[in-house]
Structure 1
């Protein structure tokens, strides 16, 4: 499918590739994407190669290398800057543990971050690292607010490119400048952004995104970007056999030499099954074009925002279209009731932690959003 075809009618061009679209109205890609029918062929290709034992290894490695190239295209970086880890959370853990923290250092995070980041900051505080919290204002956490918390003892700034909480999209180049002005490193959680919005990853020091949401992939795999400028400054907190120059060096019991690129952060055998799925998914995403997908999602987000306001519900999602991704949410103390009621109508949304959230994706239509708004209306008495 070409970009022009996708721009005319993206959902109608791709919906038949997702069996889940026939099961109801699915607006929960921020939690989990639907599975592409063609992924079954990708799984079969993996099974065929794995069935050969070691003789199938060359084909598996070829898929891995192709995925590295595809992720490089997606993030506008060199394939050599990409490693594959198990999850976004693992990427954050690797970044944190790669830093030589000292008593009195601090980590800066925002109050709109996914709980994993909060837990990581609390865990560091148990070792004498100060945790500094950036407070959101009007659903946004601007780089200027980060600047107020960052100083010469800040070792790491952690921020989501798109917030899981309300879809706020931060200005990544500006945040990068703010962090680097004090010599801090920047870790970007891109799990709610990669595949849904354009990303120029080079502004970050570390960037990680699990593949089972907007990248249309599977569980147990994440793309991990490491800025090449860190090659001489930051080393992984472990040494895996895939991260060294010579696996069978004669003096391996005395020393080792890490690879100069992002692969030095890889541990053992990668998730080849997940890579087969990712290869298939990224081929589709890049063929359509992230810009086309992003524009489509933005139209549906705008439709949902307008509809919620007409129902008297004030969204948590920023009103500025340039400051949001493909997520719309609103506060409510009836999230469980609303989610269950919508589910009975065949509408899949996310409702937890005092919020209801929808996340329209490339396979969603304006009719899907209308269906959500129509069935939400009976709950509006106590929803907002």
Structure 2
């Protein structure tokens, strides 16, 4: 069942030579704008019941404008957005709140704007107050609130009743860790009971863990629409692309449906990566939890390079980062590579992982992150399984050395 249908949605802001010309344009007069800007242009997608959609993109990509068009707080220039049910949105911190009203008064006022009756709000008020957890401040003026307290009040009100569509635009990022966990638990419970979610955030970990699908916006257009791992990896590469004009991006699915992504200028390139048993030197496709492993990476310089950093990252099947580091942080930066120089890097590590499937990524760059001169960055260049045979049972992705001490 489709609960949201967006068709060719666009928004145009225009400047005119005079206020008179702008006024004439309102009535259909053929007045030409001196300047125009389209923050959202020709966007179409649909959202099914219970589906969680992530909207990502750099600042100015059009995310917030798109949400305002969907909720009706901004009228579209072209296209339509149809919502088949109730919608609740947290678009901007304090939107619809009066700084002179108390938290309780703002809950009644903003709740009324959401379409809730005063009688229904009176029933919900104890739950809103309890979830917000701001204590005596609930009856203090909003101007005395911190941004985190405003976020608590806004989220508690927006989720007081389960809507058909819940939109959250970055507002939770100002909250503390405890309230973020609490809020995401409520979002997950809503999703499990059929609420559709649209989440706008720069926290790509939240996108991977919560969303079924992700749309990447760039300059008001849909650049990519697909599975979280595919779109998030493409977005990471896109950020590097903007820093490196010659960088290219390629993606394909292989290795039992893991996404293989590669980007970079190839001024220095990875020739091969092998995952080996540290003792025998044999290739590993299935590792035993606790096994000693070696990642052998062979690299060749295609241009003269003053500095090279080699990085590695492990992700689980859901795309969550399990571990990562690079030679910048270990103080082993390579310097002055000439054309044709070859380097072999051997990373030795213990497979302190739980049962599951894992992807190994490798990156070649300068500085401490891959956006600094991204030479070669390969997501999931090696994919392997981990089994736990002979060791004590445990759950999770990390095998932590442990010892129980029981005192009676």
The bucket for the TM-score relative to the shorter chain is under 0.3
TM-score (norm 1): 0.26
Give the structure with the larger strand fraction: 2
Rg larger in structure: 2
Larger RCO, structures 1/2 (Cα 8 Å, 6+ apart): 1
